[in-house]
Structure 1
């Protein structure tokens, strides 16, 4: 269900007040002398149906784990279309954001009348604001070919368009719960965030009307390259993102493509690794890619962005949430359809406080995504009245490559046990399952 911002804030404030006056705000409370119990919380990097498999024979440890992720209620029709390109799809995280990033890039190229990245970049924000509203590739491309300004709305972009910084002005977050080693859709709640007034009001350059017949023989076909996590710590999120990209390309080309020619998708892996991602960017640059969709992780985008900017290409991520990327130096070539973590931090704090947590540990992978969201959530909890001595921050080094040993969080689990935490927020990707395993091995009882 959709929860209003006002009621959500009221709940958070009331819960925080009771938390300071009593021992709990939720219904459940560990009895005196009982084994230490903790509630587990996650984020967009690990709240996926594929995550429990990271724990193998101990997959049931995730049951009861709650978390948030940027997610709009997806229409059944969209899910069916995604399954038409991947019948085995079980997760939908960032599928809509990937779909929209590809469609927006193609529409911007059509409006620019060019595959030149600089010209496309100048149209991207405008595609989402202040024109004639359209909601699918076919109708939007028809308007764009006629030289009409458009306002694209679709599965992830529903309430407002992009800000001047090239990111969503508004967002929708889902509160997810693991039950029976999978996300229980029946317990999912949605909450809106952001402000429509933050959307850009700047007019884009005048759209170039398509030539009669549609094809522009002066232009090369638009090539869009993938920089998505096929391998590495974030590989569990790859299937829905890949499906979103494939569906977008399929529907764009079914509607006649961009500039009168089919749009080409060039696959590419970011490996959740700077080295792998940089190699992919270099290959895309050499092969004439105009727009690169990715990277999956915020830290990887930060690492490759200088290379992308130097090459004069566009980096358009469907899943980067690091708030500091809003003001990154990008020469106007970086965009994202995922909302910044400044919005997700509030939603996470709300979820944790509603359960009456008293002593909270925030564990994060040591990169810009993990530490950035960790700091944001900490700030939101402190604003709600949680004292500093009731909070503890821990980080871990993510494995540098898939062949590296798994995360060893033994010492961190010991610290959590000694701290007496009753809530542990885990900010990470697939590798973060080792944090849960270490907690259980240390004797901490996970509350289901």
Structure 2
């Protein structure tokens, strides 16, 4: 279901005002019960159909869980095109952002007239602003070859282009709902966020004469393995579809774009090794990493090698100010925007005490801080919000996450809402809550 921004905002404001004093919109008094059930909330890496698989025979523990993720209402035609490259795809999280990261990189190289990474980087923001709008690879490449400035609009870049920092000025978020062990698409709601006036108005430098250094080589730095591997299939499908359509439209600078696969492992060591291989293989633009913490870990290596790092799924707000020498970009919006949407989802259910459990890295603790600040603005002081975190571990040999103490603390705190910010590994938090007899809203055992 698509709800207009105006209608959604009006409902949210009305509810948030009432929720400061009541348990639900329209009630005069909070309702108390002898057994207060605890609602589960998630975001990004744990709001996908494959998340339930991480719980094995306790997959029904996610029944009733809901949360947010950056997601645009995807046209049916785009979904069909994604399924043409991966017929087994069962989710579309970040597929549009992956597609757009590849396409924008290719368009920037065509405008630059060279595959030199520094020259490509100078054109990326301009590809999305201050030109003739175009919505397909073929249209955009034709305009560029005719000497026109373009303004790329597509599946994830819709209302406005990039900011000067190289990230979306506006975003669309989806509220997702688990019914049983699967997300119920019929319940999905979309809301817009951000400010169109934040889009860059700067003109990129004029490109010189086309150079003969094609082909453009793109390298993957996506989570084929590790805690974020549950997000890999749609990321891979988005990149594969973009490469297919770019090359069908004549490629870049007269030659087909080359893709070299690579894994970030949701692990800094794995990602650094992949970056080193890409540099040795002559990759110009690296698409990834999957997680914000992984991009933060490899960014220095990428910048030192003079390559472009372009992520479809990084959301940590700290990356906006990273020392990237103008070589880092993302199609996923920063968490400053998502935190507001996520706090709204929680507040609409009228909680009294909220526990926020975060993966201990730049993504997890960064988003945790944003949500906490939004809740404080809604009147939830320190006695109503409890912050906890966990060490995700690195590599396949990392010991399982033990959240036993954290689950006990949440139970003693009396939380009636628990937000879990993490990837596949955060299923251990759900199990620990159930083992501690925290009365989850859906009591699967």
The structural deviation recorded for 1:37 is 1.6
Cα deviation code 1:262-283 (max 9, x no counterpart): 0000000000000000000000
Which residue in the other structure is 1:395 paired with?
389
By how many angstroms is 1:143 displaced?
Answer: 1.3
SS of residue paired to 1:42: strand
**Residue matched to 1:213:** none
- 1:270-303 C-alpha deviation (Å, 9 max, x unpaired): 0000000000000000110000000000000000
- The answer to whether the 8 A contact 1:136-1:154 is kept is yes
Q: What is the rounded CA distance, in whole Å, between the counterparts of 1:13 and 1:133 in structure 2?
A: 34
Give the equivalent residue in structure 2 for 1:188.
188
* 4+ long deviations beyond 6 Å: 26-30
CA distance in 2, matches of 1:336, 1:56: 33
The 1:359–1:323 alpha-carbon spacing in structure 2 relative to 1, beyond 3 Å, is same
Residues 30 and 408 from structure 1, CA distance in 2 versus in 1: closer, same or farther, beyond 3 angstroms? Answer: farther
Residue matched to 1:165? 165
Counterpart of 2:283 in structure 1 is 289
Distance 1:132 1:268 in 2: 34
Tell me the equivalent position of 1:239: 233
- 1:229 — aligned with what? 223
In 2, the alpha carbon distance for the partners of 1:219 and 1:147 equals: 20
TM-score, structure 1 length as denominator?
0.96
SS in 2 for 1:411: helix
Q: What SS does the corresponding residue of 2:255 show, helix, strand or coil? A: coil
1:371 aligns with 2:372: no
Residue in 1 that maps onto 2:146: 146
Kept in 2: contact 1:174–1:191 (CA 8 A)? yes
Per the TM alignment, residue 386 of structure 1 is displaced from its structure 2 partner at its CA by 1.3
Distance of 1:369 and 1:171 partners within structure 2? 18
1:32 has 2:28 as partner:
no
SS of the aligned residue for 1:45 comes to: helix
Residues 308 and 315 of structure 1 are in contact (CA less than 8 Å); yes or no, is this contact kept in structure 2?
yes
- Structure 1 residue 263 and structure 2 residue 264: aligned? no
| 1:54 and 2:48 matched | no
* Contact 2:123/2:205 (<8 A) preserved: yes
Q: Give the stretch that moved more between structures: 10-19 or 73-82.
A: 10-19
Which segment drifts farther, 421-430 or 21-30? Answer: 21-30
Moved more, 399-408 or 167-176: 399-408
SS class of match (2:182) = coil
Residues 15-414 of structure 1 aligned to structure 2 (within 5 Å): 15-25=15-25, 32-34=33-35, 36-207=36-207, 218-414=212-408
Range with bigger deviation, 198-207 or 237-246: 198-207
CA contact 1:144–1:209 (8 Å) conserved in 2: no
CA displacement at 1:209 relative to structure 2? 7.1
Question: Is contact 1:43-1:69 (8 Å) kept?
Answer: yes
Contact 1:146/1:209 (CA < 8 Å) preserved in 2?
no
The CA deviation at 1:388 is: 1.6
CA distance in 1, matches of 2:371, 2:8: 16
> In structure 1, how many angstroms separate the alpha carbons of the residues matched to 2:392 and 2:439?
25
Aligned residue for 1:319, secondary structure, equals coil
TM-score normalised per structure 2? 0.96
CA distance in 1, matches of 2:84, 2:307: 31
* Residue equivalent to 2:412: 418
Q: Cα deviations across residues 388-429 of structure 1 (Å, max 9, x unaligned)?
A: 210000000002112222211100000000000000000000
Contact 2:102 2:242 in 1 (8 A): yes
Contact 2:214 2:252 in 1 (8 A): no
Structure 1 332/196 Cα, relative in aligned 2: closer, same or farther at 3 Å? same
Count of aligned positions: 441
For 2:226 and 2:99, locate their aligned partners in 1 and report how far apart those are by CA, in whole Å.
22
| Cα deviations by residue, 1:294-347 (Å, 9 ceiling, x for unpaired) | 000000000000000000000000000001111111000000000000000000
Alignment check: 8 A CA contact 1:291 1:314 kept? yes
8 Å contact 1:129–1:200 — kept in the other structure? yes
The CA deviation at 1:31 is 5.2
CA drift of 1:185 comes to 0.4
Which residue number corresponds to residue 440 of structure 2? 446
Deviation at 1:436, TM superposition (A): 0.4
Q: Give the RMSD, CA atoms, in angstroms.
A: 1.6
Counterparts of 1:437 and 1:31, CA distance in 2? 26
Q: Could you give the per-residue CA deviations for residues 186-208 of structure 1, whole angstroms, max 9, x where no partner exists?
A: 10000000011111111112245
Instruction: Give the whole-Å Cα distance in 1 for the aligned partners of 2:206 and 2:189.
Output: 41
